[in-house]
Copies of this chain bind each other. A is one copy, B any other.
């Protein structure tokens, strides 16, 4: 028996017997010859079966012809046959002349989604949607990107942690919290690993990372929000300021983008018409106040009462950065403490400003980072000022009562990075199974 060959590896093989496995993309069941386009996780190939005729020229109902005639789209089959290189074959210049067809599983003859189906409908049938080569590529890119990040971390002695997602209290705002029945009490789903990656600093782990789910009971339906998302987190000790965090952050993105471009660049161009640019370092850094001035000079007044940016402002500053520095990324730095969590460190002598940043990629925020306040007295003061009860934060404040190094880090949404990297309109396109206020299925 010949063992299975991935379709992408066929063209490098010599002509001769092969076995391939995959699902039926299309069948052209013609009178004199049958064609099947077979697809697997690596590509597509044409299978061909010339019909047998009897002495009178009448087509014979033999095998594999009968099986092929009965094939529905989506059925999973294993075939054997003779590989032939033939330049005239449009699909990769090869075809397989069939010897046998074994059906592993018949698909029902129904195609719930088509190329022009709505995103929502495609999500209903995500497992069929994912058979699309573009979708398949997205998750191979995801794999490469994450592995490059983790390799960067591991080579630099970062420790991988798995922080608990079940918590006794909120990790961020109390507003967007999922409550869980937990035996005789209540638990809450972690909105971020924030408290626990900071705990690693007091624990003396030095540099830590985690890629894991985070949960927000966010009722919004935008293209960039989900109730469950994959968060990329890192936290490091002994920093001097948020500049050290930004330096880590940009190096990490360079590692990720370099790996994606090297491994998938051509395919991305072919399928998404996108040229991956490995960003140059340092990324541009613009203090938020200055960014708002720049945006204003471009004719856009951010319609907010607080000191924050808004999505249109982020697009405007990104356009400015693209024009001025030809860069897809920009760190907006030094956000007002009024719009930042209590645990962001503030500038010495300028308590209205935090040592924090947002990272904007192609016009959309993908991450927030900061130096954290590690002095417990200052931390309590800032928490109280934000209306939090130090008692409720007791377990967290303990992390700092027993000593803590200076530290900082960031959290970054994986789906946002992929969405913007591939110029997609929604994180739903790059999320394996999206979760939103009205979506828990499949």
Check A402 against B107 for contact (C-beta < 8 Å). yes
A217 CB-CB contact with B under 8 Å: yes
Interface residues in A156-206 (C-beta closer than 8 Å to B): 157-168, 178-183, 185, 187, 189, 196, 199-200, 202-206
Mark each residue of chain A from 213 to 230: 1 if its CB lies under 8 Å from any CB of chain B, else 0. 101010100000001101
Interface residues in A222-244 (C-beta closer than 8 Å to B): 227-228, 230, 237-238
A residues in contact (CB < 8 Å) with B = 4, 6, 21-24, 39-42, 72, 74-76, 78, 104-108, 110, 112, 125-128, 130-131, 136, 139-140, 142-144, 146-147, 150-151, 154, 157-168, 178-183, 185, 187, 189, 196, 199-200, 202-207, 212-213, 215, 217, 219, 227-228, 230, 237-238, 374-376, 395-396, 398-406, 414, 431-433, 435, 437-438, 440-442
CA separation between A219 and B238, bound complex, in Å?
41
Residues of B near A160 (CB, < 8 A) are: 139, 142-143, 146-147
Q: Which residue of B lies closest to A405 (CB)?
A: B76
Give 10 A-B contacts (CB < 8 Å), ordered by A residue.
A23-B405, A40-B204, A74-B402, A104-B405, A104-B406, A128-B402, A130-B203, A140-B159, A166-B440, A182-B440
Name 16 extra pairs, CB < 8 A, besides A112-B402, A163-B433. A4-B238, A21-B238, A21-B405, A40-B206, A105-B375, A106-B403, A127-B402, A147-B160, A162-B213, A162-B432, A165-B213, A166-B228, A180-B180, A182-B217, A183-B438, A185-B440
Residues of B near A42 (CB, < 8 A) are: 157, 206
Residues of B near A150 (CB, < 8 A) are: 147, 150
Q: Which residue of B lies closest to A438 (CB)?
A: B183
Q: Which residue of B lies closest to A199 (CB)?
A: B127
Residues of B near A204 (CB, < 8 A) are: 22-23, 39-41, 130-131, 136
Q: Measured between C-beta atoms, what is the minimum distance from A171 to chain B in Å? A: 12
